[in-house]
Amino acid sequence: MKKSFRFYLILNLTIIIIFAIFILEIAVIFSVKNYFYKDATSKLKSQAELNLGYLYRYIDFSKGIKNVVLDDAFTFFQYNTGHLELMDEEANLLLSTIGLTHTYLNKTEILTGIKESGYYTSIDKFSFSDSKIVSVALPITYQNRMIGISVFQSSLKEADESIFNVLKLVITIGVVVAIIAIIMAVIASDMIVKPIYRLKKYSDELAKGNYNYKYNPQGPLETVKLGESMNYMRDEVLKRDAVKNEFIANVSHELKTPLTSIKGWAYTLKEDSSDDELLKDGLNIIEQESDRLAQMVNDLLDFSRLLNKKVKLEKKTIDMVQFLQALEMQFKPRAIAENKNFYIKSNVKSLKYLNDPDKLRQVFINLLDNAFKFTSEDGTIKIDLKDMGENFVVSVIDDGDGIPEKDREHVFEKFYRGDTKKSHTGIGLSIVHQIVKLSGGDIKLVSEVGKGTSFIITLPKVFDEEKCDEE
Residues 348, 256, single domain; the answer is no
The percentage of the chain sitting over the pLDDT mark of 90, rounded to a whole number, equals 17
- Residues near 142 by beta carbon (within 8 Å), at least 6 away in sequence: 61, 62
Residue 369 pLDDT greater than 80, yes or no = yes
Q: Find the CATH number of the domain harbouring 89.
A: 3.30.450.20
Mean per-residue pLDDT over the chain, rounded: 81
Q: CA angle at residue 178 from 173 to 182, to 5 degrees?
A: 155
Grade residue 417 by pLDDT with cuts at 50, 70 and 90: low
Residue 458 pLDDT greater than 90, yes or no = yes
**Is 53 contained in some domain?**
yes
pLDDT of residue 306: 65
- Tell me the mean pLDDT in the region 352-381: 90
What gap in Å lies between CA 379 and CA 443, rounded to an integer?
23
Phi and psi at residue 371, to the nearest 5° = -60, -45
Residue 424 pLDDT greater than 60, yes or no = no
Residues 228, 135, single domain; the answer is no
Residue 468 pLDDT greater than 60, yes or no = no
Q: For the chain, what is the radius of gyration of the CA atoms?
A: 51
pLDDT of residue 420: 54
Residues 301, 331, single domain; the answer is no
- In the chain, the number of structural domains is 3
> Which H/E stretch holds residue 370?
helix 357-373
Residues 437, 457, single domain; the answer is yes
Residues 345, 367, single domain; the answer is yes
Identify which of 358, 312, 302 has the alpha carbon closest to the alpha carbon of residue 465.
Answer: 312
pLDDT of residue 103: 83
**Is 181 contained in some domain?**
no
The DSSP annotation for 111-174 comes to: HHHHHHHS-EEEEEE-TT-SSEEEEEEEEEEETTEEEEEEEEEEE-HHHHHHHHHHHHHHHHHH
Crossing angle of helices 5-58/157-207, nearest 10°? 170
**Is 191 contained in some domain?**
no
CA distances from 273 to 265, 286, 289, 290, 317 (A): 11, 15, 20, 20, 50
The percentage of the chain sitting over the pLDDT mark of 70, rounded to a whole number, equals 79
**Is 185 contained in some domain?**
no
Residue type at 129?
S
Residues 288, 353, single domain; the answer is no
- Tell me the mean pLDDT in the region 13-32: 89
Q: State the number of CA atoms in the 13 A half-sphere of 270 facing the CB.
A: 6
Residue 157 pLDDT greater than 80, yes or no = yes
Give the tens place of pLDDT for each residue, 267-308.
666 666 566 676 677 677 777 777 767 766 766 666 666 666
**Is 239 contained in some domain?**
yes
What residues are paired with 154 via a beta bridge? Answer: 134
**Is 195 contained in some domain?**
no
Per DSSP, the three-state class of 195 is helix
What residues are paired with 383 via a beta bridge? Answer: 344, 396
With b for 16 or more beta-carbon neighbours within 10 A and e for fewer, the 241-268 pattern comes to eebeeebeebbeeebeebeebbeebeee
Please, where are the H alpha helices in 272-339?
Answer: 276-307, 320-337
Residues 345, 297, single domain; the answer is no
Domain boundary among 250, 281, 307: 307
What residues are paired with 121 via a beta bridge? Answer: 136
Which of residues 55 and 109 earns the better pLDDT score?
109
Grade residue 312 by pLDDT with cuts at 50, 70 and 90: confident
Which of residues 145 and 268 earns the better pLDDT score?
145
Grade residue 7 by pLDDT with cuts at 50, 70 and 90: confident
Residues 418, 336, single domain; the answer is yes
pLDDT of residue 323: 93
Residue 291: how many CB atoms within 10 A of its CB? Answer: 11
> How much of the chain is in helix, strand and coil states, percent to nearest 5?
60, 20, 25
Q: Find the CATH number of the domain harbouring 386.
A: 3.30.565.10
Residues 157, 9, single domain; the answer is yes
Judged by average pLDDT, the poorest of 111-115, 268-272, 380-384 is 268-272
pLDDT of residue 396: 94
Question: Best-predicted range by mean pLDDT among 69-73, 161-165, 222-226?
Answer: 161-165
What gap in Å lies between CA 319 and CA 329, rounded to an integer?
16
**Is 331 contained in some domain?**
yes
- Residues near 307 by beta carbon (within 8 Å), at least 6 away in sequence: 414, 434
pLDDT of residue 267: 66
What gap in Å lies between CA 83 and CA 98, rounded to an integer?
6
pLDDT of residue 296: 66
pLDDT of residue 198: 84
Judged by average pLDDT, the poorest of 24-28, 191-195, 222-226, 259-263 is 259-263
Crossing angle of helices 276-307/428-438, nearest 10°? 50
Q: Find the CATH number of the domain harbouring 293.
A: 1.10.287.130
Which of residues 76 and 409 earns the better pLDDT score?
409
- Specify whether the CB–CB gap between 339 and 377 falls below 8 A: yes
* Domain hosting residue 83, numbered range: 5-161
Residues 9, 157, single domain; the answer is yes
Domain boundary among 112, 132, 161: 161
- Specify whether the CB–CB gap between 441 and 426 falls below 8 A: no
Residues 450, 427, single domain; the answer is yes
CA distances from 47 to 151, 152, 154, 290, 413 (A): 12, 9, 11, 120, 95
What residues are paired with 354 via a beta bridge? Answer: 317
Give the tens place of pLDDT for each residue, 119-130.
999 988 887 778
314 burial class (0-12, 13-18, 19+ CB within 10 angstroms)? exposed
- Tell me the mean pLDDT in the region 368-372: 90
**Is 215 contained in some domain?**
no
Residue 156 pLDDT greater than 90, yes or no = no
Residue 343 pLDDT greater than 70, yes or no = yes
Domain boundary among 112, 127, 161: 161
Residue 87: how many CB atoms within 10 A of its CB? Answer: 24
Residues 250, 323, single domain; the answer is no
pLDDT of residue 456: 95
What is the length of the chain? 471
